[in-house]
């Protein structure tokens, strides 16, 4: 039982000495337990403070306080310097800019934490404080498992960089350009300008398709011609259209093959290569230009044909 709680279980005679002691030691009260006048109370407070020898104790601790303050200040400036050096090193290694803020904060917090703990160790026992913080961290981690998983997935993406800001990717069934890579999620901007936020844990546990990983990409087409048309002529027309497009690469050269024989047509498969950022330009331009060129050369794109037999009974 605490001393304060035990006081209430004492008899009046047993409480009296304690009350007298409190009354006599209180600079605001006189010997009768009444409030002193202001000048007397003020003088009593000054005498009481002098008896505590606060100035002498402060002067004894002053060198330690100065060293502790210097440690905190040095840690602050060192953390700022370290952040600049880390960013400079990452830029030299061409690391994704999305990683900059994360690494800067980690380095800054780590350095400041070390110096603050060093300063605090001059006044308190930091080992018990660290143990308490560790226990609290474990408890919080158990309650925030999903959040921790998201954070860990974000670190995995930032460290392994399967894609970077600006890449055109397909993540969790969503296609678009990577707008931002965050600790908890990744922001995708779709071709029709919708912003989609995908949790990082969904990304790391599914397939990642990065269309921008290489500097060039193949565009595949299927063009149909009728069985009565000249296949070699149609192939030559398609190749000529492809080579006339300035966005189509000449190495490797465009290729056109007979892809399949369908019920109403022969399907020609065309494969051309282009720079990654010119994919859709080539795709749409070829679709239009090939149709125009086939029409000019008398090569038709057939409709589905259906034979109907009428039985007259």
247 belongs to a structural domain: yes
Residue that is written with structure tokens 């392994």 in the block? 160
Q: Burial of 275 by CB count in 10 Å (0-12 exposed, 13-18 middle, 19+ buried)?
A: middle
CATH code of 255's domain:
3.30.70.100
Q: Cβ contacts of residue 75 below 8 Å, gap of 6+?
A: 111, 112, 114, 115, 116
Rounded to two decimals, the pTM is 0.54
In tens, the pLDDT along 114-141 reads: 888 888 777 777 676 666 666 666 665 5
Domain that holds residue 199: 156-210
pLDDT at residue 19, rounded to an integer = 46
Which is more confident, 256 or 264? 256
**Alpha-carbon distance 299 to 207, whole Å?**
42
Report the SS3 class of residue 251. coil
47 belongs to a structural domain: no
Query: What are the angstrom distances between the C-alpha of 165 and each of 196, 211, 243, 276?
Result: 14, 13, 32, 15
304 belongs to a structural domain: no
Whether 91 and 107 share a structural domain:
yes
257 belongs to a structural domain: yes
260 belongs to a structural domain: yes
Whether 74 and 109 share a structural domain:
yes
Tokens of 247: 């966005």
pLDDT at 15 over 50: no
Long-range (24+ apart) CB contacts under 8 A made by 288-293 are 289/241, 289/244, 289/245, 290/221, 290/223, 290/237, 290/238, 290/241, 293/237, 293/238, 293/240, 293/241
Residue that is written with structure tokens 């005679």 in the block? 13
301 belongs to a structural domain: no
In tens, the pLDDT along 158-200 reads: 777 788 888 899 988 889 999 888 778 889 999 899 999 988 8
CATH code of 169's domain:
2.30.30.60
Split into its structural domains, the chain has a count of: 3
Whether 275 and 258 share a structural domain:
yes
307 belongs to a structural domain: no
Which is more confident, 243 or 29? 243
Question: Average pLDDT for residues 10-17, to the nearest whole number?
Answer: 50
CB of 147 within 8 A of CB of 184? yes
Whether 129 and 164 share a structural domain:
no
């Amino acid at each position: 039982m605490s001393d304060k709680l035990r006081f209430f279980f004492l008899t009046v005679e047993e409480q009296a000495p304690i009350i007298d002691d409190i009354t006599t030691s209180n600079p605001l009260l006189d010997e009768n337990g009444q409030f002193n006048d202001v000048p007397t109370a003020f003088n009593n407070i000054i005498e009481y403070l002098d008896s505590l020898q606060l100035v002498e104790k402060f002067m004894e601790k002053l060198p330690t306080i100065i060293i502790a303050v210097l440690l905190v200040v040095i840690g602050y400036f060192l953390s700022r310097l370290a952040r600049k050096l880390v960013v400079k090193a990452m830029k030299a290694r061409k690391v994704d800019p999305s990683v900059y803020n994360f690494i800067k904060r980690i380095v800054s917090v780590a350095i400041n934490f070390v110096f603050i703990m060093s300063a605090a160790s001059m006044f308190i026992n930091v080992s018990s404080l660290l143990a308490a913080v560790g226990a609290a961290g474990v408890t919080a981690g158990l309650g925030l498992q999903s959040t921790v998983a998201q954070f860990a997935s974000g670190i995995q993406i930032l460290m392994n960089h399967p894609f970077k800001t600006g890449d055109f990717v397909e993540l969790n069934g969503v296609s678009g350009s990577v707008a931002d890579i965050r600790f908890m999620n990744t922001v995708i901007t779709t071709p029709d300008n919708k912003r989609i936020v995908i949790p990082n844990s969904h990304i790391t546990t599914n397939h990642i398709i990065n269309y921008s990983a290489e500097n060039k990409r193949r565009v595949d087409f299927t063009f149909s011609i009728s069985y009565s048309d000249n296949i070699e002529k149609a192939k030559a027309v398609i190749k000529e259209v492809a080579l006339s497009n300035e966005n189509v690469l000449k190495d490797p050269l465009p290729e056109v093959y007979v892809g399949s024989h369908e019920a109403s047509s022969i399907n020609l498969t065309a494969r051309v290569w282009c720079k990654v950022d010119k994919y859709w330009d080539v795709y749409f331009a070829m679709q239009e230009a090939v149709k125009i060129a086939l029409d000019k050369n008398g090569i038709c794109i057939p409709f589905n044909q259906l034979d109907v037999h009428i039985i007259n009974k």
